[in-house]
Amino acid sequence: MSIVDQLLDGNYMPHGHCLKWQPDLLFLHVVGDALTVIAYALIPLAIVYLFHKRHDLAFDWLFIMFAAFIFLCGLTHFITIVNIWHGYYYLGGIAKLMTGIVSIMTAIMIWRLLPQAVAIPNDDDFRAQNEQLLQAQKELLEANELLELRVLERTKALEQLAHTDALTGILNRGGLMDSLTIEVERAVRYQHTLSLLMVDLDHFKYVNDKYGHPCGDSVLTEAVNIITKACRTTDVLGRYGGEEFLLLLPETDTDSARQLAERIRRDIEQHLFCQEDGLEVSLTCSIGVTEFQLDQTQASLLQSVDRMLYSAKDSGRNRVVVNDNMTS
């Protein structure tokens, strides 16, 4: 008898004899094994289908081996059903041997993969990591908001610095021109008066030459303080040139501007500069005054007040010249 004939020899005593062919025992064994065969056939198909669709899942070979193990278990149960009526015990033995081999291989793979499987985070680990990420995100958002606030503050500071005279702290020429543009547009829009004062410290170069530049810087700073104290909060003061200052007076006519100019002239004339340096420096100033006319441009307005200032200086200094060479 060949090996194939021996394997397919079903003349051994059927297993049904052990059950005495009792219907109830046959029902229990056949139905139980049949259901197991169906389940053991569907489970491997489901596993193979899953890994066919999901290539990103880890431990794929382990699951394939597990599917093979389940399939062989189902085959063993199927042969057990056949052997109730026939004696294919060689086939049953081979199926059990293959099941045992695959089972051992699957067990070995499981034990080798246990460290990796154990290292996979569980729900608590994921929850803790998620909380850490949320906290990190919150801290990052707070840091970003703080950074944006600092950038905004720094931008404002740089803008202010770009429009501020470093020595006196008032507007520089660029900032002054921006403010003048705004005030001229407002005066035109609302038909309001606007006057300008241009103040020049007389013989300021002499102060620098005789007392030095530190004393000259103190003179400029103290002069700004004197002018600022005489102004309203709505007035705009800026450094137009070296020792020249431009004062914007919104809603102020010529007479009011002249009165303010006279007050500034007297305050500077009566003030003793550089006393903190142990000196008593006397100084005067010349002031030009003009009132904005609706048909004027910003350039012509500056030319007008500049012309009044030089008229005051040409008339002997320490005086105020208003509009068309009217002096006081």
pLDDT by residue (tens digit) across 267-280?
999 999 999 989 99
Same-domain status, 183 and 301: yes
Q: pLDDT higher for 122 or 56?
A: 122
Same-domain status, 209 and 285: yes
DSSP classification of residue 200? E
Same-domain status, 208 and 303: yes
Same-domain status, 153 and 190: no
CATH number, domain with residue 184: 3.30.70.270
Q: Report residue 328's pLDDT band, with 50, 70 and 90 as the boundaries.
A: very low
> Does the structure show a pLDDT above 60 at 263?
yes
Q: pLDDT higher for 246 or 23?
A: 246
| Total domain count, the chain | 3
Segment 90-119 shows an average pLDDT of: 81
> Does the structure show a pLDDT above 50 at 159?
yes
Q: Report residue 24's pLDDT band, with 50, 70 and 90 as the boundaries.
A: confident
> Does the structure show a pLDDT above 90 at 208?
yes
Cβ–Cβ < 8 Å for 164, 170? yes
Domain-embedded: residue 219: yes
Task: Walk across the sheet containing 194-201 and list its strands.
Answer: 236-239, 244-250, 194-201, 285-291, 320-322, 326-327
Domain-embedded: residue 194: yes
Query: What single letter denotes the amino acid at residue 164?
Result: T
Paired tokens of 173: 């020429």
DSSP classification of residue 10? -
Question: Which CA distances in Å does 297 have to 110, 175, 210, 309, 321?
Answer: 90, 18, 40, 19, 21
- Report pLDDT for 275: 93
> Does the structure show a pLDDT above 70 at 161?
no
In 3D space, the residue among 296, 300, 290 whose CA is nearest the CA of residue 324 turns out to be 290
Same-domain status, 53 and 113: yes
**3-class secondary-structure state, position 260:** helix
Rg (CA), the chain: 51
Ramachandran region of residue 251, left (φ > 0), alpha (ψ -120 to 50) or beta?
left
Question: Which CA distances in Å does 155 have to 150, 174, 231, 242?
Answer: 8, 17, 29, 27
Q: pLDDT higher for 243 or 326?
A: 243
Q: Tell me the residue range of the domain where 198 lies.
A: 173-327
- Report pLDDT for 5: 65
Segment 206-226 shows an average pLDDT of: 95
Domain-embedded: residue 243: yes
Same-domain status, 13 and 54: yes
- Report pLDDT for 179: 95
Segment 74-97 shows an average pLDDT of: 82
Same-domain status, 196 and 144: no
pTM over the 0.85 mark? no
pLDDT tens digits along 281-298: 999 999 999 999 998 999
Respond yes or no: is residue 159 known to be catalytic.
Answer: no
Same-domain status, 53 and 101: yes
Report the C-alpha gap between 265 and 230 in whole angstroms.
Answer: 10
Same-domain status, 307 and 223: yes
- Report pLDDT for 89: 77
In 3D space, the residue among 322, 173, 201 whose CA is nearest the CA of residue 273 turns out to be 201
Q: Report residue 49's pLDDT band, with 50, 70 and 90 as the boundaries.
A: confident
H-run or E-run covering 15: none
Report the C-alpha gap between 19 and 143 in whole angstroms.
Answer: 79
Same-domain status, 13 and 101: yes
> Does the structure show a pLDDT above 90 at 225?
yes
Say which of 131, 159, 183, 243 is annotated catalytic. Answer: 243
Domain-embedded: residue 224: yes
